[in-house]
Amino acid sequence: MTNFLDVDDLTTDELATVLDRAATIKADYEASGASDLLGGQTLGMIFEKPSTRTRVSFETGMTQLGGHAVFLGPDDIGLHGREPVKDIARALGRYVDFVMARVFDHDDVVELGEYAEVPVINALTDDAHPCQTLADLLTITEHFDDDVSVAWVGDGNNVCQSFVLGSAMCGLDLTVATPEGYGVDDDVLDRADGLGPAPDVTTDPEAAVADADVVYTDVWVSMGQEDEREQKLAAFDGFQITPELLGDRALMHCLPAHRGEEVTDTVIESDNAIVWDQAENRLHAQKGLLAWLAEQE
């Protein structure tokens, strides 16, 4: 039984296989419509954090593959409430074929994965967002050849940390620019160094984007960090993606965007933005992942 709690739960070859499978499923759907790859199978979706893209892409993906998804919000299944996480995992594992969880504490998805006895997918924790990285890598392969350079400019947050690992596994040339004190965890950098080329790290956004084909950013104030808002806005002064900083490079953003903070409205509405391809590819990348996980049983 295989879980997907962060990108490096896969081997480099397995990651390539999942991305290839996603591209094939996307092409097949565009040519022929829905399939029955996961006919009769069910995905249980645990949500502590709200989401547009995560819920809709997973529900739609299961439908397009012939399966079914069950939404379990905070009022349906309160983690650390009526029963322990391990008991929730054991029960769900008797009902569904996959469990997807979008939660705050990364330890919760680890515990779900330990006890569910079906594949558990991390759809976001405060530490990692591996499903977003699958969509990011699929988008990059669609728009660029193998020789591509990416600059991450902003917070070294969960999205960034998973992207660092995925970039190393795919051999991408990555530079990460964050303010002092907001960088990627040393543990993640060490893991990346063991997987492939580790990113260059800087506190200078202009230096980071100088040789980049793609500039990637995310919100500076994530869910659960609202009390840090004023502090973070001050710390990230100079890190906004403006037309001048972006130049003729492609823009990536995992969305939702806080327009006027980490990115200007002009930039995200420009032809340089490939953010909507990214958003769509959440659907296709996750279908590729689900189909691959089903084959591992």
CA distances from 202 to 42, 151, 152, 178 (A): 44, 10, 10, 7
Q: Is 218 in the active site?
A: yes
The radius of gyration of the chain from alpha carbons, rounded to an integer in Å, stands at 19
Catalytic residue among 55, 102, 191, 284: 102
Q: Is 231 annotated as belonging to a binding site?
A: no
- Give the closest residue to 216 by CA, choosing from 140, 126, 112: 140
Q: Is 132 annotated as belonging to a binding site?
A: yes
Q: Is 64 in the active site?
A: no
Q: Is 51 annotated as belonging to a binding site?
A: yes
The single-letter DSSP state of residue 155 is: -
- Give the closest residue to 153 by CA, choosing from 194, 207, 117: 207
Task: Report the distance separating Cα 124 and Cα 101, nearest Å.
Answer: 7
Q: Is 205 annotated as belonging to a binding site?
A: no
Cβ neighbours of residue 267 closer than 8 Å, sequence gap 6 or more: 241, 242, 243, 246, 251, 273
Q: Is 52 annotated as belonging to a binding site?
A: yes
Strand 200-202 vs strand 214-217: parallel, antiparallel, or unpaired? Answer: unpaired
Q: Is 222 annotated as belonging to a binding site?
A: yes
Catalytic residue among 41, 64, 127, 129: 129
- Give the closest residue to 266 by CA, choosing from 290, 246, 286, 283: 246
Q: Is 253 annotated as belonging to a binding site?
A: no
The three-class DSSP label of residue 101 is strand
Q: Is 258 in the active site?
A: no
Contact 99, 119 (CB under 8 A): yes
Q: Is 160 in the active site?
A: no
Residue 54 CB-half CA count within 13 A: 27
Q: Is 129 annotated as belonging to a binding site?
A: yes
Catalytic residue among 21, 191, 253, 282: 282
Task: Report the distance separating Cα 143 and Cα 105, nearest Å.
Answer: 34
Q: Is 225 in the active site?
A: no
Q: Is 129 in the active site?
A: yes
Contact 159, 219 (CB under 8 A): no
Q: Is 255 annotated as belonging to a binding site?
A: yes
Catalytic residue among 8, 108, 136, 218: 218
Q: Is 158 annotated as belonging to a binding site?
A: yes
Q: Is 131 annotated as belonging to a binding site?
A: yes
Catalytic residue among 64, 136, 254, 286: 254
Q: Is 35 annotated as belonging to a binding site?
A: no
Task: Report the distance separating Cα 36 and Cα 68, nearest Å.
Answer: 11
Binding residues for carbamoyl phosphate: 51-54, 102, 129-132, 254-255, 282
Which residues are the active-site residues? Answer: 102, 129, 132, 218, 254, 282
Binding residues: 51-54, 102, 129-132, 158, 218, 222-223, 254-255, 282
Binding residues for L-ornithine: 158, 218, 222-223
